[in-house]
Amino acid sequence: MKKVLHISKYYYPFTGGIEQVARDAVRALQGKFEQKILCFEHDNSENQNVVDEVEVIRCKCQCKIFSQSISLEMGRKFKDLLKTFKPDYIVFHYPNPFFASILLRNIPKETKLILYWHLDITRQKILGKIFHLQNLALLKRADKIIATSPNYIEGSKYLSQYRSKCQVIPNCIDENRLAKTPKAVELAEKIKQENKGKTICLSVGRLVPYKGYSDLIKSAKKLDENFVFYIIGDGEKRKALLSQSKNCPTVKFLGKLTDDELKAYYLAADIFCFPSITKNEAFGIALAEAMYFGLPSITYTIPGSGVNYVSLNGETGLEVPNRDVDAYANAVKELAANKNKRKQLGDKAFNRVIDKFLYKEFKSNFVNIMEIK
């Protein structure tokens, strides 16, 4: 049985989009390959050395530079794994530029490199410039490159240079986690009753700048009390966003919720608001989840992002010019006033997820990409 070493910044139980994809990739190969995972340690992860029956080697992080973790022991553990585990394949989840330098210096010529390119470094301009040549070397060394959407290949100054190596594998939703439960259905009815006569707008995501919640609040302020905006998630901008919305009672921050609570809000909502504003939002798993619940979405146009690949303008939702808060508010009003349109868009949204963004499709695509000649 051939061996695969997966390298991710963090790993379950850490919750994040890239980490979920990394776990999905490992699960897809179970029973077909012998696998190990190498990652950084994070809070409450020290004793999680086996996940889904696969060994996870976690490395202590000494510090962070430009939000990137630095571990003095990761290079040593990687070299040890090359000698003892001897992987036939390495699946490297990028961005992780500091480890990329270790990878390039030490990966054996005969080891196949599958580069999982989640996103370009856009927010940290200095970091992007520092690692520009390294990125090119990494892409040149890769045997296969995975992108999460065709939009990202065309919009990335890196991936567009290596189209022949690229294969699109869209991220997937977890059907089991999103399955309706009596508790979720009951809570959804309660939410609807509490907001009777109002249009329920829902948004799910980390409270970080690129998610665009500041813009969503500006749009919400242009609408009356017949609308309510529920925002699920937490993050570094929570305090600032709470301050911005203090005079806007229609915006309600719910923090992190249980799976049943999250599903209840998906079931109760009329419109899904996904106001991300930059390419840091490479795909949008929360967007795909909302579409799975038959919700029409409103997104901004983000050149080169997979957001506008996940939800199609005029087919599964509405798309408005980036950061145009007036247009966003008008789109909310348009959907609120037309129940039939919401239903039509929501039905097509559900069908798009069923066709493209389920785990079975992801698994098949990922297993196929491992067949490198």
Q: What is the pLDDT of residues 256-265, one digit of tens each?
A: 999 999 999 9
CA torsion, points 91, 25, 121, 168, in degrees to nearest 10?
Answer: 100
Q: Coil, strand, or helix at residue 5?
A: strand
Q: Rounded to a whole number, what is the largest CA-CA distance in the chain? A: 65
- 46, pLDDT greater than 90: no
Residue ranges of the chain that CATH labels 3.40.50.2000:
3-172+358-369, 182-356
* Locus of tokens 């340690």: 41
Gap between the Cα atoms of 280 and 302, Å rounded? 10
Which segment of 66-70, 150-154, 188-192 scores lowest on mean pLDDT? 66-70
- 210, pLDDT greater than 90: yes
What is the pLDDT averaged over residues 167-176? 95
Nearest by Cα to 118 from 12, 11, 236, 22: 22
pLDDT band at 319; cut points 50, 70, 90: very high
Instruction: Give the model's pLDDT for residue 124.
Output: 57
What is the pLDDT averaged over residues 229-243? 97
Angle at CA of residue 183, ends 340 and 18, nearest 5°: 75
- 373, pLDDT greater than 70: no
Calculate the alpha carbon distances from 367 to 77, 152, 360, 371 in Å.
27, 22, 11, 7
Note whether 332 and 273 are within 8 A (CB): yes
Question: Token pair for residue 145?
Answer: 């490159």
- 298, pLDDT greater than 60: yes
| Mean of pLDDT over the chain | 94
Instruction: Give the model's pLDDT for residue 71.
Output: 85
Percentage of the chain lying above the pLDDT 70 cut: 95
pLDDT digits (tens, 9 = 90+) for 189-202: 999 999 999 999 99
- 351, pLDDT greater than 70: yes
Question: Token pair for residue 163?
Answer: 């189209």
- 44, pLDDT greater than 80: no
pLDDT band at 131; cut points 50, 70, 90: confident
| DSSP assignment of 47-108 | T--EETTEEEEEE---EEETTEEE-TTHHHHHHHHHHHT--SEEEEEES-HHHHHHHHHH--
Q: Find the radius of gyration of the CA atoms of the chain.
A: 21
Which segment of 69-73, 100-104, 120-124 scores lowest on mean pLDDT? 120-124
Note whether 226 and 270 are within 8 A (CB): no
Nearest by Cα to 80 from 54, 102, 49, 53: 102
What is the pLDDT averaged over residues 86-102? 95
Instruction: Give the model's pLDDT for residue 47.
Output: 63
Instruction: Give the model's pLDDT for residue 366.
Output: 96
What is the pLDDT averaged over residues 347-352? 98
- 128, pLDDT greater than 90: no
Residue type, 218: K
Q: Coil, strand, or helix at residue 29?
A: helix
pLDDT band at 70; cut points 50, 70, 90: confident
Task: Tell me the sheet residues that pair with 273.
Answer: 298
The CATH class given to the 3-172+358-369 domain equals: alpha beta
- Decide yes or no: CATH 3.10.20.30 for domain 182-356: no
| DSSP assignment of 292-353 | HTT--EEEE--TT-THHHHS-BTTTEEEE-TT-HHHHHHHHHHHHT-HHHHHHHHHHHHHHH
Predicted structure pTM score: 0.92
